Amino acid sequence: MTQLDKNTKTITIPANTKQKDPIFLHEKKMVVVLQEGATATIFDHDSVCDLTFHVHAKSTLNFFSTITQAGSKTISIFLHGQFACAYLNGAYLLYENQTCSLQVRQEHLFPNTESLFVLRGALAGTADVSIHGTIFVDKQAKKTKASHQNKTILLSSGAQVQSCPDLAVLNKNVRCSHGSAIGKFDETMLFYMCSRGLTKKMAKRHLLESFLASPFAQLDDKKRETFLKPVTKKLQEMV
């Protein structure tokens, strides 16, 4: 059973609880604690600005987030016990002169932990986003597997993205990586879709939708569609 502390802003998933339904976050500043053996799925739509996860031994966190409004967001994940896992998936879509700053920290403090962060985004107008992702692996955190991947499509000449991934590793027996890609639409894909009868506008919209939806592939179709509604709606305004 979920315990929502009074006066806020802390959610604790008790030990050995497999949370079936996703938890939607609504507060600006939140702490989520997964006790030993717990599993939880957390959703966030532009709500939280400062989010901290404490993931204990043998627990699994699945976090899904979308950003469609300007602002600043800090997400910190601390893996506090062996075999703790955290999977973070996000998508952002900004246009006009929206600016956004996203800071993500994945901190591995124990052996045999895993954290994967996947982010997809698209910028139009003169939107500006800066992404700072840090992976820290403590000296004792051997057999850590950690990754940070972000990809962005720029839709206009005034848009700008800054990507600053950071790896700080103090144990040799790990697999850590980060990757970043920034670019434009693949013209070949656009051409293919147009050759199938779609207008260029429709083709762009479909390609963007699938690009932004890719981090959420593990959700079932209905949940994914519901979760991505704000993004889809904004895409229709933009493209």
Partner 1 sequence: MLSCEKNKHNIFGRGFNKKIITDLSEQKNEPGWMTDFRLKALELFENMLMPTWGADLSHLDPYDIQWYIKPAEKMWDSWEQVPRKIKKTFESLGVPEAERKFLAGVGAQYESEVIYKNLKKEWAKQGVIFTDCSTGLHEYEKIFKKYFATVVPPDDNKFAALNSALWSGGSFLVVPAGVHVELPLHAYFRMNSPAMGQFERTLIIAQPGSSVHYIEGCSAPVYGKSSLHSAVVEVIALAGSKIRYTTIQNWSSDVYNLVTKRAVAHERATIEWVDGNFGGKSTMKYPCIILKGERAKGQLISVSVSKKGQQQDAGGKIIHCAPHTTSHIVSKSICKDGGRSTYRGLLKINEGATEAQAKLQCDALLLDDSSRADAKPKIIVAQEDANVGHEASISTIDEQQVLYAQSRGLSASRARALIVNGFLDAFVKELPMEYAVEINRLVALEFDDTIG
CB closer to partner 1, 49 vs 182: 182
What is the DSSP-derived secondary structure letter of residue 26? -
Using CA atoms, how far apart are residues 239 and 236, in angstroms rounded to an integer?
6
CB closer to partner 1, 71 vs 179: 179
Using CA atoms, how far apart are residues 239 and 229, in angstroms rounded to an integer?
15
Using CA atoms, how far apart are residues 173 and 77, in angstroms rounded to an integer?
21
Q: How far is the CB of 163 from partner 1 (least distance, A)?
A: 4
Using CA atoms, how far apart are residues 9 and 4, in angstroms rounded to an integer?
8
139 binds partner 1 (CB under 8 A): yes
Give the bridge partners for 131, in sequence order: 102, 163
| Among the residue ranges 24-32, 175-183, 204-212, 225-233, the one whose residues contact partner 1 (CB under 8 A) | 175-183
156 binds partner 1 (CB under 8 A): yes
238 binds partner 1 (CB under 8 A): no
The footprint of partner 1 on this chain (CB under 8 A) covers a number of residues equal to: 33
141 binds partner 1 (CB under 8 A): no
176 binds partner 1 (CB under 8 A): yes
154 binds partner 1 (CB under 8 A): yes
What the block records as the tokens of 17 is: 């609880």
CB closer to partner 1, 38 vs 155: 155
**Treating both helix axes as pointing N-terminal to C-terminal, what angle do 200-213 and 229-238 enclose, rounded to 10 degrees?**
150
Instruction: Give the position of tokens 């124990």.
Output: 110
Among 2, 16, 97, 177, the residue binding partner 1 under the rule CB under 8 A is 177
CB closer to partner 1, 21 vs 166: 166
Alpha-carbon distance values, 201 to 10, 157, 166, 190, 197 (Å): 43, 18, 37, 10, 11
Among 157, 188, 195, 236, the residue binding partner 1 under the rule CB under 8 A is 157
Q: What are the residues binding partner 1 (CB under 8 A)?
A: 139, 152, 154-184
